[in-house]
Amino acid sequence: MNARDANARLVIAIDGPSGSGKSSVSKEVARRFGLAYLDTGAMYRAVTWWCLETGVDLHDADAVVGAAETVPLELGTDPDEERILVNGEDVRAAIRGDLVTDHVSQVSTTVPAREVLVRMQQDIIRDSGFRIVAEGRDITTVVAPDADVRILLTASEAARLARRGRQLGAAASSNLEAQVVGRDAKDSTVVNFTQAQDGVQLLDSSDLTMEQTVQGVIDLVIRATDSTDHGAGTAPDETGADAPEETRQA
């Protein structure tokens, strides 16, 4: 398999804790390889929003599973155009708000609800023609353990808190540490996204810029998929990233 072949299967699975850069990096990697992009965290958030909206008791596991099974969710996979509709309503902003962020772990720690969402995620990966970057907490281990490239993207707690603080700016909650570190602690009770499992490559982005992290992922993809391309570390399209390394922009 060659990552540059536009028809070849290429499933890239990326897991990691909150604020490690999964979404931003995955979207950019998807653009450069011409792949679809799946934000599985958005699915947990959308189900949480739907439960809150329809008065589902988040402590009632059966009701949460029912909501996961019936949520009228439309999720796009274009890395250039985020599309998340629930019951026809655009929920992109609402699902990132404090209310959903503070409650989402109640859905993500309901194991039978996870099973419903995992099946949906596997369907989306299949429907992409197996040409997709999927990111979350259990993609490398549960959703797509057979992915062509499996990466655990980490960053130190300090780096993740600083990034999330910068990202939210004035909108940052006084609860930021709980929203990042506390949420990871809750989610870690049902999935392991802190240690790389066998066959999963660890990429620590604590001291890397966004571009260096994107390039780090691209290098891992090329190494995993093209044995003749070791060390080339070049991206696959006409953006200039395909040029020899020394001619590319930093």
Ligand X SMILES: Nc1ncnc2c1ncn2[C@@H]1O[C@H](COP(=O)(O)OP(=O)(O)OP(=O)(O)O)[C@@H](O)[C@H]1O
Footprint on this chain of ligand LCLUPRNS (rule: CB under 6 A): 18, 40-41, 44-45, 104-105, 108, 136-138, 183, 187, 191
Reported in sequence order, the residue ranges of 41-186 that DSSP labels E, i.e. its strands, are 73-75, 84-86, 89-90, 131-136, 149-154
For ligand X, the binding residues in 173-232 under the rule CB under 6 A are: 205, 208-210, 213
- By a kind-dependent CB cut-off of 5 to 8 A, residue 45 interacts, out of ligand X, ligand LCLUPRNS, none, with ligand LCLUPRNS
CB-nearer residue toward ligand X: 127 or 211: 211
Q: Which of 41, 53, 54, 126 is nearest to 84 (CA)?
A: 41
- By a kind-dependent CB cut-off of 5 to 8 A, residue 27 interacts, out of ligand X, ligand LCLUPRNS, none, with none
CB of 167 to ligand X, least distance (A): 3
Give dist(CA 240, CA 151) in Å, integer.
25
CB of 35 to ligand LCLUPRNS, least distance (A): 18
Reported in sequence order, the residue ranges of the chain that DSSP labels E, i.e. its strands, are 10-15, 36-39, 73-75, 84-86, 89-90, 131-136, 149-154, 201-204
CB of 246 to ligand LCLUPRNS, least distance (A): 36
Q: Which of 165, 161, 124, 156 is nearest to 40 (CA)?
A: 124
Q: Which stretch binds ligand X (CB under 6 A): 73-81, 115-123, 162-170, 231-239?
A: 162-170
CB-nearer residue toward ligand LCLUPRNS: 179 or 225: 179
CB of 41 to ligand X, least distance (A): 5
Q: Where are the alpha helices (DSSP H) in 76-156?
A: 98-108, 111-127
The answer to the question of whether 136 is labelled as a binding residue is no
Q: Please work out the total of residues on this chain that contact ligand X, with binding judged by CB under 6 A.
A: 18
Going 128 to 129 to 130 to 133, the CA torsion angle's sign is negative
Give dist(CA 90, CA 92) in Å, integer.
6
- By a kind-dependent CB cut-off of 5 to 8 A, residue 31 interacts, out of ligand X, ligand LCLUPRNS, none, with none
- By a kind-dependent CB cut-off of 5 to 8 A, residue 108 interacts, out of ligand X, ligand LCLUPRNS, none, with ligand LCLUPRNS
- By a kind-dependent CB cut-off of 5 to 8 A, residue 219 interacts, out of ligand X, ligand LCLUPRNS, none, with none
CB-nearer residue toward ligand LCLUPRNS: 51 or 104: 104
CB of 81 to ligand X, least distance (A): 17
- By a kind-dependent CB cut-off of 5 to 8 A, residue 187 interacts, out of ligand X, ligand LCLUPRNS, none, with ligand LCLUPRNS
3-class DSSP state for residue 201? strand
Q: Which residues of 134-160 are buried (b: 16+ CB within 10 A; e: fewer)?
A: bbbbbbbbbbbeebbbbbbbbbeeebb
Taking CA atoms, 15 is separated from 64, 114, 149, 151, 199, in Å, by: 24, 15, 11, 6, 13
Give, in degrees to the nearest 5, the angle at Cα 95 between 92 and 99: 145
Residue stretches of the annotated binding site: 16-24
